[in-house]
A = this chain, B = another copy of it.
């Protein structure tokens, strides 16, 4: 137990900081803003605030049947039922004020019963899982609020516009080469990693190259103006069906007004900046762009072997820009913006690593049951907390999803680079 004290002490500080950060992300929002659910895939901010608390109540305090459990369980089938996901926006009671009170109550209890008490390793692990989970929902708050606000003809703003990117110089284009061969990916270390990042294992890669920077809005605009959204030969069959069914003509949050492209951001609506990474494209659009560009998307293994060892630095939620920034050239040949700015679609379907076993019990539902019909994204975005990002991190979304902060970086076989 002595050994745990320092860890637990550090954990206490992180617990306070991370739990408070969630409340801070909700601070610019009214009770009404926190109530609305803009689509089934998104959740009300109030629900995020409550669900993350329910997670601690259930998995750390061991009370999976509290009076609010039915309301704020997300998808854990083994915990006995949850409210209809599409109707989270209809739960007007408890109120935002009551949910914030619920947070305080559970936080005090976690501190008193767990963080300031003798605690098993397993429980400490559950607190850590709860904090990682909390950070995921911090990003979802920003992601979902952006979608909600985008549907309001008044174009509300969540945060002041960030200082201009004007000083940025263009990133040198170009590729980073990798020789392929037998490599290792996945998390093998003692630090926190989700179950789906494990076990560390070997893969054989062919030689490849990875673009030095993400695709920019200006790059993507060329695709749009070259008729990219009207040329079926550039698209996967399911992607082309989505284009036609949904009427896609540009990335989400772009709209043309007269000759100008406008963009909706968390700081309201403004002109499109060509030098910033393109954001809010689906996998289908990322894939079609890559085909149009004569390249392809990277495998998640390719992405990871390049990113491994790079410092996890960049434009994260802590910058409070809440929007990807134009690339700044560091003057070296290293790839830039691997972390932060935009999640990068890979070409890898989300699947279990060889030897993967989900944890037993309800937490086994955290990741494993989603391993079909989803695509892996890597690197983190301007809405991700910096301490939540790492080279082995596997985010995943269905290929049609556009409302997350997602862009792309090109890859190529070694003999096909431009």
Residues of A within 8 A of B (CB): 30-36, 38, 46, 70-71, 75, 77-78, 83, 87, 89-96, 148, 151-154, 156, 182, 201-206, 232-233, 235-240, 283-284, 287, 347-349, 351-352, 354-355, 365, 369-373, 375, 399, 413
Contacts and interface: CB of A to CB of B under 8 A. Distances in A.
A231 to B, nearest CB: 9
Nearest to A349: B349
A92 B30 contact: yes
Given A204-B202, A236-B369, A372-B238, A83 B153 contact: yes
Contacts of A237: 75, 369-370
Identify the interface centre among A32, A34, A38: most chain B CB within 10 Å of its CB.
A32
A353 to B, nearest CB: 10
A186 to B, nearest CB: 12
Nearest to A145: B92
A33 B33 CA distance: 12
Contacts of A205: 354
29 contacts: A30-B95, A31-B31, A31-B32, A32-B92, A32-B96, A36-B36, A36-B89, A36-B90, A70-B153, A71-B153, A75-B237, A77-B232, A90-B152, A92-B152, A93-B154, A94-B154, A182-B182, A182-B204, A201-B206, A203-B203, A204-B204, A206-B355, A236-B372, A237-B369, A238-B372, A347-B351, A349-B372, A372-B399, A373-B373
Can you tell how many copies of this chain the complex includes?
4
Contacts of A287: 372
Dominant secondary structure at the A interface: mixed
A54 to B, nearest CB: 14
Contact of A354 (B89, B182, B202, B413): B413
